[in-house]
Structure 1
Amino acid sequence: MHHQNFKPLLASRCDLLSIKYPVAVTPKLDGVRVIIRDGVALSRSLKPIRSRVVQSILGNLPSGCDGEIVCNDGSFQGTVSSVMSEDGVLNWTYHIFDFLDFSTPEIAPYTDRMHQLQDHLERGRLNKNCKVIYPEFVYDKEGLMQFVQEHLDDGYEGTMVRDPSGTYKFGRSTVNQGILLKIKAFEDAEARIIGVEELMHNDNPAELDELGHTKRSTSKENLVPAGTLGALVVQSLEDERITFKIGTGFDAQQRQELWNQKDELIGQYAKYKFFNQGIVLRPRFPTFLGIRPSDDM
């Protein structure tokens, strides 16, 4: 068996000034990474995906398929629930965006790998829960930014940018290599959950300010516990000295479910998105996306 030191190819943040054209672009997905190897669906950390449904449906795909499973309703937490539990339901699509032929020690360039994938799939029937993401090619910055805007308008996270002749690096591409880059309006990251805070209802009487706007005092005396999650207290994975709170991005059901399991949350990882401009230490406007399974880290 070849490529014993295999690791999934990962992207670096794109520097528009350093891009060497032409490039191949695809929409950036927000799902769970899945690689098929020897009939087993593996996570980003190369552990078998827990869902028996995923294994039964994807196990027959050609060894070397690389992609992401995305829940059909588009939610990251829905994807995690479907993929990372043994009895996950079939409400997802596997988007294949790369291929590595494990039967040979040579690694073909990206465009050749996509041709190899197409050849393999033509020999067998592609399951209806699978979709191949073929790239578009752009030749200048204007064309690239047009695709970035289209992808954002279509609800994607951003755009993936590849070197058409790039290899499959085992690990993260650097900006200078340009093998795989990402362009996003928001960045996302993970942080370790170290605490939870309860939501507090403000029962202080409403008053009008000088402009006629309603305001309420923040006096703690009339803040009433709501019995549900207010915020996650998290610790940066890059610098343990940095802690911050994630208090937005939850719906009412998520807040209650997370509050009901608050003791089990400690030590788990929260995935969040944030605005990546003007950052000094703590992320700006961190917004909850989901609980990231350790298998997918």
Structure 2
Amino acid sequence: MEPVGTGTDGVAAERRQLLNVAYRLLGSVTEAEDAVQDAYARWYELPRLRQESILSPGAWLTTVISRICLDLLGSARVRRERYVGAWLPEPLPDRTEWHHAAGAGPAATTADPADQIVLDESVNLAFLVVLESMTPAERVAFVLHDVFRYPFAQIAEVLDRTPAACKQLAASARRRVDAKGTAVPATGRAEVVRQVREAWESKDIAALVGLLDPAAVMTADGGGLVGTVLRPVEGGARIAQYMVAVAGTAPGLHLLERSVNGVPGLVAERAGTVVTVSSFDITEGRVSRIWVVRNPEKLRPWRRAGRPAPGTGTP
């Protein structure tokens, strides 16, 4: 990272980068925003002479927020053991596809943390789920080096380990990511998602079974706040039956094809409010994993986003 000035504007300009680092490390917009606020609080608590002695406030802030996230990842494992059902990362909308709510001007858009997170392959839900399988140290080393290209010497300061040890951690994490396989191009994903939506809307179990891998797995996150399955549903046939059953017992749902963390997904609305966000992993033309987020606390960015542009949803 290039050195920046120690003035208020220079330090504040790092906020976007810090949010992007923290979201990838934590998988939560809310926790990422809290971590950023904590990092800034520590900066402004420094004596003025200490601030002026720091050649790169951006690098200093990145080190601090990475340490904050490292601590949070350790405690998160304990918290998630008490979580009701499966825990999934918070899904993010693509702001370019949405109109902001009436009366929300440019200032409101800029103030929303979700709007400042860059949506690329390092935030798609499949990738974030793989990150969840890593140890906190592996995740920090991998994200900082492979995603943000920070040198191992700087990562060593975060993890309090040697650069060689950090390199090994990143390599171990990389093997987990590589084991996941090659991503499907967005165009291929969009077509499969469209077919899933159509089959789901028409309650066509046979069509859904044909679109789902026989060994597919669906994981849902309601956080104990809304009804959903507490354990993963396994097998394409069982998932298809479950999806059709849900469609039959939830009248008024409106399915929309939307970008979820930068890749094609589905959003369910009821009375204009987003109640479910679904993301898909696709292997050889079939859906192999479905992640369904229903926890309303994780859907706040979608509710701030407003209605989609005309002509981009289903009738």
| TM-score relative to the length of structure 1 | 0.32
| Higher Rg of the two aligned structures | 1
Higher-helix-fraction structure: 2
Higher-strand-fraction structure: 1
| TM-score relative to the length of structure 2 | 0.30
